[in-house]
Amino acid sequence: MPDWIDPDRLLVLASGNAGKLKELSSMLTPLGWTVRSQGEWKISEAVEDGLSFIENALIKARHAARCTGLQALADDSGLVVDALSGMPGIYSSRYAGPDADDKANNQKLLQALRGVAGPDRAAHFYCAMVFVRHAEDPAPLISTGKWPGRILEQPRGEGGFGYDPLFWVPGNQCSSAQLPPEVKNSLSHRRQALTALTGQMKDEFRN
């Protein structure tokens, strides 16, 4: 480990997603944290067998902490649709099957909502974010974020990923896929959860 890295302020992100690493680093680096991806340790993916976003985020954070011996941070997020009793929920990334791509997931969602009128197509993106000091941490820091909207009847926009083309953002009168990236990132469920979590971390690690 380089001499300039404070081992007490080093944490592993339980994800190999470069976008997540960049976003987290931009908020945590000014607070004195060094964030590294679990990909640097070639860690296998955790088995996400929880029944909620918070449970799965905890599973991923504990797994990363156990494999590296470091403090760890993880998030779990997805789309919650009221008319579908919360589905696709924790299965958002694999709604149409374990190897499904975004197009297949979106098509399945549209089919599931066929015949459901606009006012009843309410939905929200949800994110749970967890920080553990070690793998057996009994009092992890937990935050959540919620981004409300509704599901369109057909895709709009070319940006974003996942369900963004189907997610209507009332306050901006466009789909999430039509938002400039910087606007989306300022509104998103993940940004809300991250802001809340970094606030907790700042309070706990003042010195």
What is d(CA 95, CA 105) in angstroms, rounded to the nearest whole number?
6
Catalytic residue among 6, 75, 76, 82: 76
What is d(CA 191, CA 2) in angstroms, rounded to the nearest whole number?
30
75 labelled catalytic? no
What DSSP assignment string belongs to 29-60? GGGT-EEEEGGGGTPPPP----SSHHHHHHHH
Instruction: Kindly list the catalytic residues.
Output: 76
